[in-house]
């Protein structure tokens, strides 16, 4: 895992981060790690856009499965 060093943070920011960490019973490091992870997590809109992009690459072949089910039920292999 990587590391980052953030310099020149305002003392008030550090104080608020420490307070948030103490309220949640976590370390300052864990609190900051979670804040950064949340900040880069894709929004719902971005996630759906990615899903739609991938879905567009997949050919849609909508055939009824009735014929296949009947063939298997009757002991016929439709692929042979």
pTM of structure: 0.60
* CA angle, 55 then 58 then 61, to 5°: 115
pLDDT of residue 58: 83
Q: How far is CA 16 from CA 19, 20, 21, 46, 61, in A?
A: 5, 6, 9, 30, 55
At 40, list the tokens. Answer: 């880069």
Mean pLDDT per 10-residue segment, the chain (80 residues): 94 97 97 96 96 88 80 74
pLDDT of residue 80: 61
């Amino acid at each position: 895992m990587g590391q980052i060093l953030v310099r020149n943070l305002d003392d008030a920011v550090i104080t608020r981060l420490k307070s948030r960490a103490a309220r949640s019973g976590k370390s300052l490091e864990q609190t900051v790690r979670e804040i950064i992870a949340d900040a880069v997590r894709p929004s719902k809109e971005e996630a759906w856009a990615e899903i739609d992009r991938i879905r567009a690459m997949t050919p849609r072949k909508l055939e009824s499965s009735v014929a296949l089910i009947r063939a298997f039920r009757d002991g016929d292999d439709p692929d042979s």
